Structure 1
């Protein structure tokens, strides 16, 4: 949390030195419907992270992760993390990364060519999050966040999107275990995965056309 606050502070020093205003990096108020769109996209993208994680696990081990295994793993990794620390860390990460990747990088390259700006900012975003299994998914998320930012004219909806993708699993861990297991049983359902993918691609297509 402290490291992300330092990054945010350095970013704001950079903006002040370059005399760049918050509105020029698209950190400005937007209509509530755009924030709800960001929340919707983040929630659906969370479904895709579950599907992507299970697929990656299957390719490595030859077996599918069950809801019980997912809950067991997450319970162990999250048992010493408080709900409030998840909120603080989640938003500090989302704010700092959205200012950097969409507010500064996307905005600067957008002046040259909007399509190149989307691809380049997403590529740098994916490299920043690079692991063997995460590169493609991070690139798709980078494209999604860039399209949402351009459509809404603000990085605020992308901040909520980013926060939910990163933290919704750890938030769920603070519910009773039976509730958590039921939630992940729904998440690992093929119907949920297919519906989520169709809906997410439909929203991306809409944003791209717009």
Structure 2
């Protein structure tokens, strides 16, 4: 089985697992009367971690190599921390843009969990997704794109990450974040870079949400009322907000691109060695199996059946969700 086909097939299985799991398994978990944090963690384990374990049992792949479990240098850690901070304005813009057309389910979740202690909220909304989502997408799926260019790997796995959320409002910024996280893993050679960035990204959102809640309570303001009134904001005000966020997103995207380029330049010698080794491996492979050149793993097209099915399922789910609103 070709690498990208296997990676996209695994991603398709993740999506189907989440859809079927939310339909048949999640209601059973809810009926057990578990708290919301336990419910959130349980679904992540069942729908992401368990498929990961099954994948390694079936494929017998090396866990360390597949997941890129490589130590992250201090300098890279600092770079990732800055990137995670600079991602926020970009995410605000993309989330705001999506919110003009689709309901914000993330905000609804935050309303439900707003009463939880900060550390519990941070663990459930930042730590758990950062670990389980990364080992699946930037671990197993991205590994299937190891023979593809960093741009192609980033774009395809980013789209997969966006679709994995099964939420139209989250798709744009999740896909953009997915592209960035793929770049970080490919440049640093370590999945810890994407786990750290993902955790800081979500953690910042959780922290800001908690601070807004505390501030509102101090001022005796009703957050729900404020949010409902925000829906009645005039179109001119919405366009003004859109413009401001677009400018901020453009500025901080420029900063992020500059940092990524700097990291690539510094990692240049290492990346060139890996690229040379890959080219040599390709030549050796082709020389051994020239007659079956059209079937070799290095010519597989990532726009394959599992990937297309992922797109179709995502569009169908979004259509059905919109009908329910």
**TM-score normalised by the shorter chain: which range applies?**
0.7 to 0.9
1:106-141 per-residue CA deviation (whole Å, 9 max, x = no partner) reads: 112213554433322122112212433433322221
Question: Which residue of 1 is the match for residue 85 of structure 2?
Answer: 43
Deviation at 1:13, TM superposition (A): 4.1
Checking the alignment, whether the CA contact within 8 Å between 1:42 and 1:162 is kept in structure 2 is: yes
In the alignment, which of 64, 84, 88 is matched to residue 119 of structure 2?
Answer: 84
Deviations 1:27-75 (A, max 9, x none): 2321122222222222211222223334445x45xxxxxxxxxxx9898
1:65 aligned residue:
none
- The equivalent residue for 1:22 is 63
The partner residue of 1:5 within 41, 45, 53 is: 45
| Cα distance change on mapping 1:117 and 1:193 into 2, 3 Å | closer
Indicate whether 1:108 and 2:144 are aligned. yes
Q: In structure 2, what is the Cα distance between the partners aligned to 1:157 and 1:16? A: 26
1:95 to 119, 131, 136: 131
State the shift of 1:206 in Å. 4.0
Structure 1 residues without counterparts, runs of 5 or longer: 61-71, 182-187
TM-score of the pair, normalised by structure 1: 0.73
**Displacement after TM superposition at 1:77 (Å):** 4.8
Q: Is the 8 A contact 1:102 1:146 kept in 2?
A: yes
Change (3 A) 1:23 1:206: same
Give the Cα–Cα distance (whole angstroms) in 1 for the partners of residues 88 and 111 of structure 2: 20
User: Hey, what does 2:95 align to over in structure 1?
Assistant: 53
CA shift for structure 1 position 151: 0.6
The alignment partner of 2:210 has SS state of coil
| Residues 78, 168 of structure 1: alpha-carbon distance in 2 compared, 3 angstrom cutoff | farther
- The two structures, once aligned, show a CA RMSD in angstroms of 3.3
Could you tell me whether the CA contact under 8 Å between 2:71 and 2:190 is conserved in 1? yes
Compared CA separation, residues 206 and 140, structure 1 to 2 (3 A): farther
Does the C-alpha gap of structure 1 residues 23 and 84 become closer, same or farther in structure 2, counting only changes over 3 Å?
Answer: same
Using the size of structure 2 for normalisation, the TM-score is: 0.50
Identify if the C-alpha distance between structure 1 residues 76 and 163 changes in structure 2 by more than 3 Å, giving closer, same or farther: same
Higher Rg: 2
Shift of 1:15: 1.9
- Cα pair 2:159 2:178 within 8 Å, conserved: yes
Unaligned 5+ residue runs, structure 2? Answer: 1-40, 102-106, 220-240, 269-325
Change (3 A) 1:169 1:154: same
Secondary structure of the 2:168 match is coil
Question: How many matched pairs?
Answer: 192
Query: Matched residues in 1 for 2:120 and 2:72: separation?
Result: 27
Query: Which residue of 1 is the match for residue 76 of structure 2?
Result: 34
Distance 1:8 1:48, change over 3 A: same
